[in-house]
Amino acid sequence: MLRLIHICTYFLLLCLALSRAQPVDYSNPKSQVEYISTDADRGPKPNIVPVTRPPLVIDTPPPAPANSKNFAFNPKTQTWTLIKPGDPQPEEGALLWNQSNDKWLTKVPGSLSI
């Protein structure tokens, strides 16, 4: 009988400890590691096996509507210029802004309807 009490106590403590366990934090990029398999059957190149899931993409703005306006920043004049639909696109690396992003950035968290 005493042995059964010890087993039940250990089981209860184990369940209590497991119920308090926290999920793995995947937001830290340093915790995302990969194991390199040294299995000789794979050939001369190592087999890289990811052990973490890919990051979740959240809080990204929806695609811009067709009637929204695009702006490009001119660093020389420190001004924003409207890009009309027929205008050529600015060079790569230019700072662009879409008018629809204003609504996205000013919404209060929790007010988004998905």
- Residue owning tokens 């050529």: 88
Tally of structural domains, the chain: 1
Residue 96 lies in a domain: yes
Longest distance between any two alpha carbons in the chain, whole Å: 86
Inside any domain, residue 87: yes
- pLDDT, tens only, 10-67: 888 887 777 777 666 666 666 555 566 666 666 666 666 666 666 666 666 667 777 7
Q: Spell out the residues 6+ positions from residue 15 whose beta carbon is closer than 8 angstroms to its own.
A: none
Task: Write the pLDDT tens digit of every residue in 73-110.
Answer: 888 888 888 888 888 888 877 888 887 777 655 555 55
The two beta strands, 70-74 and 96-98, are antiparallel
Q: How far apart are CA 27 and CA 18, in angstroms?
A: 22
Whole domain around residue 97: which residue ranges? Answer: 70-106
